Amino acid sequence: MSRHRGKLMFLGGLIAALAVGWLGLPIVLYETIDQPLQFSHATHTGDLLGMDCEACHTFDEAGRFCGVPGIALCATCHEEALGDSPAEQHLVEAFIHPNLEIPWLVYARQPDNVFFPHAAHTVLAEISCERCHGPHGHSDRLRPYQRNRISGYSRDIWGSNIAGIASAPWDGMKMGDCSRCHRQRGIVESCQDCHK
Amino acid sequence: MSRNTTHRVRYGMAIDIDRCTGCGACMVACAVENNVSVPPPPAGDRKGLTWIRVYRLHNERPYPESRTAYLPLLCQHCGHHTPCVSVCPQHATDIDPETGIVSQIPERCLGCRYCMAACPYHARYFTWWDPVWPAGMEEIFNPDVSPRMRGVVEKCNFCHGRRQVALQRAAAEGRRQIRDDEYRPACLEACPVGAIHFGNLDDPKQELYDLVHGERAFRLLERLGTEPKIYYLSSQPWVRRLLHNGIPASRRHPDGGRPDVAALRHQQVLARDPRAEERRRS
Amino acid sequence: MKLASPDRPLIMRGVERTSLGRFLLWLVPWLALLAFGLYGAYLCLALGLNQTNLDNRFAFGLWIFLDLAVIALGAGAFFTGFLLYILRREELADLINSAVVVGFVCYSGAVVILMIDVGQPLRAWFTFWHPNVHSMLTEVTFCITCYLLVLFIEYIPIVLRNRRLRRIPAFLVFEFNLHKVMVVFAAVGTFLSFFHQGSLGGLYGVLQGRPFAFREGFAIWPTTFFLFILSAIAVGPAFLMLVTRLAEALTRKRLVHPRVYTLLGRISGWLLVSYVLLKSVDTLIWLNRTAPAVGFLGHDFYVHAAFGTWILFAEIVLFGLAPALMLLIPRVRQGRWAIVAALLACFGIALNRFVMTIQTLSLPSLPFDKLLLYWPSWQEMASFLAVIAYAVILFSLSYRYLPLYPRERELQADRDPDSVAPRAASRTTLAVGGAGAGTLPTSRR
Amino acid sequence: MLPGIYEFQWTLGHLIFLGAFFTVLGILVSVLFVSLRKSRIDLQGRRAEVIRWQQSFQQLPADQRQCRHALAGRTQPRVCQRGFACGECPFHARLLASGTAPRTALFGEGSCPAGSGDLFGFAMPASRLYHRGHTWVEQRADGTLVAGLDDLGSRLIGAAPQVELPAIGTEISAQGTGWQICRAGADPVHVLAPVSGTVIATGGPEKGWYLRLQPVRIDAGLEHLLHGEEIRPWVQAELQRLQRRLSPECLGPSLADGGLPVADFPAAYPGVDWDTVWSETFLTD
């Protein structure tokens, strides 16, 4: 026993250090914030309504992606509550009636110096939304938003894995993730293709 | 697959010195377009941020022979052995093979300023202060250009944000390429006398092509062999003498041997005093 | 008992050191200078580089010039290591420890200044993560970091030889084993230094936009690459000579055997002569070939009064050839003039680095520009003075508590430097013999 | 930096540059690791004392490293290169074989009373074997060894030192630390063990601080000790050195009158750097 004490201690220390790094660090590094409103994509996109992404996430006349729609678009259907879900009740009372925009926390918001033309990817390269955003459009509820306490960026940029190793194609939106796909598609890159 | 996000172009400029009145509209337009911060007063002449800067040239002769001209100087987007790109230790600046535009990525920049030492045009600027703008000006920022932080180098990128927006609009319409008139730098648009011309240097159909191949065209410090993509136009002999010494673009002597030092000396004498030749003959 | 300094148990046995009080008194002005410089450096880091008089035209200034000079002077560390461990010049064992400390303070000081000099010090690691392998600065960054690590490792055994630390068996044994493999570190250090000294020269030599500095060369390296290496190893020994002489003068003690100076002088002299020769050839090629090819005559570079041809003359003849010849004459290099020669050589190397950095930037590159002038701000000067203070403090502490000069004890015990054998009894006026014990104290029977 | 990291390319430039960098880093780290590992092995193999002696020996002034045969006048001045390990020295073996130097004499039992064997006023009986670090060894009839500090050494340490003897059962090795002496206000002095062995008994102040040792080998391990006619020239050289230390300028008249040396040198010579004298005398750091 005493012969292996050093090794056991090393192993124990290693496991403890890994636990701190893999489990403890994300808790310290990211703060978790709930979305201001629970929204079910599945309700809108599923069999019931069958809307597609572009119905709400539109481009403007200059081809610029408009991101999350404003409260006016919600109001076209939800002027008054259609169902009896508490989330819808909250939407109508807290945002539509007082005509306030919902302060959404955008999971995929990139740093300011990134220029991402949605049109080039969805229109020209015909890449589906799911390729980068995952099955978000079919989710039943909005998961909590995790913000990096140091950089202030969404955790989705780095990916769910603390090591930055993607488990799915949409897990992680780092520069390397963009670049990998570009290289696979033989796109010659320079810095200013994506940076502004 | 889709290698041709854009077609290969070589963007360049021709600036007509004879037309330039030195009004500085290009400098203002540039600063507004690119969210350039305003350094505090101690910045003075040499610590400011002017991606394009208008210099005053003078022939240093007394009236009535006194002549003045103005030279808008911006990043020359050198095409060969680009001095700044080759020295940057961490790829914070690169030259886009698709467009020939020399970029600067401030988020990657260490602020070592080696590129500034390498640039003979002084077209690169360091952010000596934390960026500040007059109160409320943040509200009218150009969303297509990201403001820079303190301690990095920045410079002209031919209003690249405009090109990105143009490409995006084209993409939304299903086009991979942009039309010539869809992308113009801000300085060009602001110039009240139309002294600035911009376009693809390789496209013979463009007006720019004729301008840069005309007799009035020359490039600044062409002799250094860095193939700048900004051409200057002037018919005034004193301007041409001052800015352009007529040395061939190739860095080495054409026949590969020793440069003709005597001829060079003669040229320099002429450049300094154009009448020397006449006096010598008489 | 003699009233010993409270720190006596930390000081090597058999060597004399001044009292702790006097030592602290010596440190006080340097500590004050260090504090003042740190304040200047703090201003630069906290408020930004607007605290300096650097500007968009003069992007590099005092700091880069002095960094280059200091790193060249610090070359004595790797070159002495190379001579001692690889070429087996055992005489240099007298001063290898001090050479390591000199190298360490020079390099670490330069790196600290570089960290203040860059606009975004927290991004320093970018160069490692995203290296542009075609940039000379990348090579400099990689090599200097590695070499600083080497110097640090070389410093460890010297620290562990402190009298107190040696008592701890783990330290003693580690020091012993580390010292046994010192040849590997010396070799790696030599390799690294060769490249970064050269790359520092290449830094300016590759600047095609600056015809005053641009040089042609071999493969990817301009001639300045090789000239910087040669000048650094030529002047490194001379600087060590100066440091040691200064230490001897301040402590009023002989610290190394005089033949070490002779050897350093000879090495420095020969290398300096070859450097001056090659530098002259390089200058001629540059004036007659490289510069005219891009439309410059040599005359164009020297029209400004501040930077006239005198600077070229001073660099090559006054501070190059003159000390080289002085060091080559045996009589001179053994005498007092050797110090003057070493001083001239060190000044020459600083002047060379000045010309390559400051003069290059001050010469106008745009055809309508005038000569650019720049004067460093107090923050710049203070930060650099802090480095000098740091160097003096670290060297003083090392001298006091570590065996910087291993032969000091021996040389001190025997003032006659040519003889290390026990002194002849004849010099002890009172021979020991018979029943008596010489001058030893006795008590009456 | 590494393949897979953005901007890494498999170009020749990258391969050469980064290859050189990682090679250098690899060499540095592995060499450092090897020396750490060797240090661990040395520590476990209790080589620390051997290494300490090697280094202390190298740091001694050259005249303290004189060969015993040079001291005895049998040969020209000669600096020992082997840390006084005469048993391993071919020169020593040659002198023994040629009869120039006498073999270590077998010696009888029983310690000499203090005061006998007077040598320049110091009690250094010739029946004992002496280590160059001023310790003596005597062999007893049962094969055990007794070791102690010699008279010159004791007087140099002076009166009322604090002595730290090793515990019974400790294994000590020749040239390793035998015991520690500490005089108030000074750094402790390590006295070198003259021979290797296991401590089986110790003597306190009333008996003059001695160690009784069971030797590692019954027949060997004593060749490096001075004996017989070697003792006198050695002590003479030591006194000369001491005299230089005590009065470096050789001022004042001699008291060569046959007086006895004082018992407490440090008290008599307060102005001397005793720390250094002790390190030279006891060949220790």
Q: How far apart are CA D140 and CA B166, in angstroms?
A: 105
Nearest to D150 by CA among D13, D282, D1, D16: D282
In tens, the pLDDT along C95-125 reads 999 999 999 999 999 999 999 999 999 999 9
Chain B interface mutation, best of C368, C370, C375, C377, highest count of B Cβ atoms under 10 Å: C368
Distances (CA, A) of C427 to D72, D77, D243, D255: 21, 17, 12, 18
What distance in Å separates residue B234's CA from the closest CA in chain C?
A: 16
CA distance D175 to C168: 17
Query: Other CB atoms closer than 10 Å to residue D194's CB: what's the count?
Result: 29
**Is D112 part of any domain?**
yes
In terms of domains, do B256 and B236 share one? Answer: no
Tokens 């402590």 belong to: C251
Of D4 and B92, the one with more pLDDT: B92
Architecture of domain C18-417: Up-down Bundle (1.20)
What letter represents residue D231's amino acid? I
Q: Please report which confidence band the pLDDT of residue B254 belongs to, taking 50, 70 and 90 as the band edges.
A: very low
Between CA C160 and CA A96 the distance in angstroms is 74
| Mean pLDDT for the stretch of residues B56-83 | 93
Rounded to the nearest angstrom, the minimum Cα separation between B23 and chain A is 28
Mean pLDDT by 10 residues, chain A (196 residues): 85 95 91 92 84 88 88 89 87 91 93 92 90 89 93 92 86 89 85 89
Percent of chain D at pLDDT > 70 equals 89
Q: How far apart are CA C306 and CA C315, in angstroms?
A: 14
pLDDT at B93 over 60: yes
Contacts of C299 (CB under 8 A, 6+ apart): none
- pLDDT exceeds cutoff 60 at B63: yes
Per-residue pLDDT band for C167 (boundaries 50, 70, 90) equals confident
Q: How confident is the model at residue D118 (pLDDT cuts 50, 70, 90)?
A: confident
Domain count, chain B: 2
Q: Which pLDDT band holds residue D272 (cuts at 50, 70, 90)?
A: confident
Best of C50, C139, C142 to disrupt the B interface (most B CBs within 10 Å) is: C50
Sequence letter at residue C193: S
Distance from CA of B264 to the nearest CA of C (A): 7
Hey, which residues does C150 pair with through a beta bridge?
A: none
Tell me the backbone φ, ψ of residue B270, rounded to 5 degrees: -60, -40
Which residues of C are less than 8 Å from D48 in CB distance?
169, 172-173
Question: Considering chain B, what percentage of its residues have pLDDT values greater than 70?
Answer: 84
**Which CATH number fits the domain that encloses residue D188?**
2.40.50.100
Does B270 score more than 70 pLDDT? no
- CB contact under 8 Å between A185 and B2, yes or no, is yes
DSSP state of A96: I
Closest CA to D226 of D99, D136, D100, D114: D136
Output the six-digit token pair for C306: 């501040």
The set of residues, in sequence order, having a beta carbon less than 8 Å from that of B247 and lying 6+ positions away, is B222, B223, B264, B267, C294, C295
Taking CA atoms, what residue in B is nearest to A126? B174
Range of the domain at B279: 252-282
- Please check whether residue D37 lies inside any domain of the structure: no
Contacts of C128 in chain D (CB under 8 A): 1
Cα–Cα distance list, B4 to C10, C111, D159, D244, D261 (Å): 72, 45, 96, 91, 102
Which residues pair with residue D215 across a beta bridge? D197
Structural contact between residues C118 and C127, judged by C-beta atoms closer than 8 angstroms:
no
Angle between helices C169-180 and C182-205 (to 10 degrees): 60
One-letter amino acid for residue A29 of the chain = L
Say if residue D75 is exposed, middle or buried (CB neighbours under 10 Å; 0-12, 13-18, 19+). middle
pLDDT(D170) > 60 = yes
pLDDT at C429: 32
State the average pLDDT over residues C372-389: 94
Q: Kindly report the backbone phi and psi dihedral angles of residue C75, in degrees, each rounded to the nearest multiple of 5, phi listed first.
A: -65, -15
Our CA dihedral for C382, C388, C392, C398, rounded to 10 degrees, sits at 120
Q: Evaluate the CA torsion angle C292, C298, C303, C305 in order and state its sign.
A: positive
Task: Count other C-beta atoms under 10 Å from residue B153's C-beta.
Answer: 28
Residue B1: its pLDDT value, please? 35
Residue B2 falls inside a structural domain: no
D2: in domain: no
Average pLDDT of C339-347?
94
**What ipTM is given for this predicted complex?**
0.86
Based on the fold, state whether residues B70 and B182 are members of the same structural domain.
yes
pLDDT band at B272 (very low <50, low <70, confident <90, very high): low
Amino acid at D261: P
Q: Can you give the three-state secondary structure of C293-358, one letter per residue?
A: HCCCCHHHHCCCHHHCHHHHHHHHHHHHHHHHHHHHCHHHHHCCHHHHHHHHHHHHHHHHHHHHHH
Residue written as token pair 């004729």: B210
A174, two tokens: 């780092």
Sketch the domain layout of chain C as residue ranges: 18-417
Q: Is C120 on the interface with B (CB under 8 A)?
A: yes
Average pLDDT, chain B: 86
Q: Assess whether pLDDT exceeds 90 at residue C227.
A: yes
Residue B76 lies in a domain: yes
Is residue B188 a part of any domain in this protein? yes
Round to whole Å and give the CA distance between C185 and C191: 10
The shortest C-alpha distance from B197 to chain A (Å) reads: 22
Report whether B177 contacts B51 (CB < 8 A).
no
Question: Helix, strand or coil for residue B165?
Answer: helix
> DSSP characters for B110-147?
----HHHHH-TT--EEE--S----STTGGGG--TTSPP
Report whether C53 contacts C89 (CB < 8 A). no
What does the DSSP assignment read for C345-399?
Answer: HHHHHHHHHHIIIIIHHHS--STTPPPP-----HHHHHHHHHHHHHHHHHHHHHH
Query: In sequence order, which residues have a C-beta less than 8 Å from that of residue B233 and are 6 or more positions away?
Result: B14, B15, B16, B17, B18, B211, B214, B216, B217
Query: Is residue D14 domain-resident?
Result: no
Answer yes or no: do B157 and A112 touch at CB < 8 A: no
The chain A residue lying nearest D8, using CA atoms, is A176
Give the mean model confidence (pLDDT) for residues C76-94. 92
B64 cis-preceded (ω within 30 degrees of 0):
yes
The dihedral formed by the CA atoms of C355, C356, C362 and C364, expressed in degrees to the nearest 10: 120
Identify whether residues B172 and B231 lie together within a single domain. Answer: yes
> Which residues are paired to A32 by β-bridges?
A146
Any domain includes D69: yes
So where are chain A's domains?
2-68+104-194
The answer to whether position B4 is within a domain reads no
Q: What is the pLDDT of residue A16?
A: 96
Q: Is residue D239 part of a domain?
A: no
Kindly report, residue by residue over B197-250, the tens digit of the pLDDT: 999 999 999 999 999 999 999 999 888 888 999 999 999 999 988 887 544 433
What's the pLDDT at C445? 37
pLDDT tens digits, one per residue of C402-414 = 999 988 887 876 5
* Stretch B42-49: mean pLDDT: 88
What is the least distance, in Å, from the CA of D51 to any CA of chain A? 26
> Using CA atoms, how far apart are residues C215 and C230, in angstroms rounded to an integer?
16
Q: Which of C235-239, C425-429, D197-201, D224-228 has the lowest mean pLDDT?
A: C425-429
* Span C4-27, pLDDT tens digits: 678 888 888 778 888 999 999 999
B interface test, pick of A66, A123, A183, A191 with most B CB neighbours within 10 Å: A191
Would you call B150 and C58 a contact, using CB atoms and an 8 Å cutoff?
no
pLDDT confidence of residue B276: 59
Report d(CA B1, CA A195) in Å as an integer.
23
Domain assignment present for residue D169? The answer is yes
Determine, yes or no, domain membership for D284. Answer: no
Distance CA C108, CA C387 (A): 9
- Mean pLDDT for B68-87 is 94
- Domain with D160, as residue range(s), is 48-234
At D17, list the tokens: 């540059």
Residues of chain A with Cβ-Cβ distance to D5 below 8 Å are 176
| Close Cβ partners of B89 (under 8 Å, ≥ 6 residues apart) | B110, B112, B114, C127, C131, C132, C135, C137, C138, C141
Same domain, B259 and B245: no
The predicted model gives C300-318 an average pLDDT of: 89
Indicate whether B49 belongs to any domain. Answer: yes
Cα–Cα distance list, A23 to A16, A160, A171 (Å) = 10, 12, 18
Helices C223-251 and C337-354 pack at an angle, to 10 degrees, of: 140
Q: How confident is the model at residue B4 (pLDDT cuts 50, 70, 90)?
A: very low
Claim to verify: residue B228 and residue B274 sit in the same structural domain: no
CA-based nearest residue to C113, from C309, C366, C379? C379
Residue C198 has pLDDT above 80, yes or no: yes
Same domain, B97 and B171: yes
**Other beta carbons within 10 Å of D16:** 11
Contacts of A72 (CB under 8 A, 6+ apart): none
Higher pLDDT, D98 or B189: B189
Averaged confidence pLDDT in chain C:
88
Percentage of residues in chain C having pLDDT higher than 90: 73
Say which DSSP state D79 is in. Answer: B
How far apart, in whole angstroms, are the C-alpha atoms of residue D113 and residue D108?
Answer: 14
Question: What average pLDDT does range D107-112 have in this prediction?
Answer: 43
Residue A53: phi and psi, rounded to 5, are -60, -40
User: For chain D, what is the domain count?
Assistant: 1
Q: Which residues pair with D177 in a beta bridge?
A: D192
pLDDT given for residue B211 in this prediction: 94
Same domain, B90 and B135: yes
**Per the domain annotation, does B175 fall within a domain?**
yes
* Statement to judge: residues B245 and B274 lie in one domain: no
